[in-house]
Amino acid sequence: MALNSVTWDAQCDGFMSSDPDGSYVLVNVTVTAAADATEALNINEFYFEAYAEGYSVDVGIGGLFCDVPDALPDDLQPGATATGNLMLDLSPETVWLAYSPTLGFYGPDPAWRIR
């Protein structure tokens, strides 16, 4: 997974949208599913972790209810590559963002300094 851009204080529109717990952050990523995978790769907001300097901070669920422009597909078939956006509800203290679908059990997870 490659992080292409981060937009803080993004606009969240949607039928069930609400105010964020922190700030809405639009994250643009490029993802390639492994060619030898046996099932589709699922990318979602629940796999992201946020960190301030020296401690973890919550990732709110408010971004799940936003209508996201150019949204990343929910599932990528083996060998497919996609670029798209996810909306995250992040604490203003967030400095690092990590993508951790396996909770670190299968090696290091990608992480990016976003501030």
Name the residue range of residue 57's domain.
2-103
In a domain, 115, yes or no: no
In a domain, 109, yes or no: no
Look up the CATH number of the domain holding residue 43: 2.60.40.1240
In a domain, 73, yes or no: yes
- pTM of whole model > 0.85? yes
**Across the strands, what pairs with 88?**
25
Quote the number of domains for the chain: 1
Query: What is the length of the chain?
Result: 115
Quick: pLDDT tens for 86-102.
999 999 999 999 988 76
d(CA 63, CA 19): 10
In a domain, 16, yes or no: yes
pLDDT in single tens digits along all 115 residues of the chain: 899 999 999 999 988 888 898 999 999 999 998 899 898 888 888 889 999 998 999 898 888 889 999 999 988 999 999 999 999 999 999 999 998 876 656 667 789 999 8
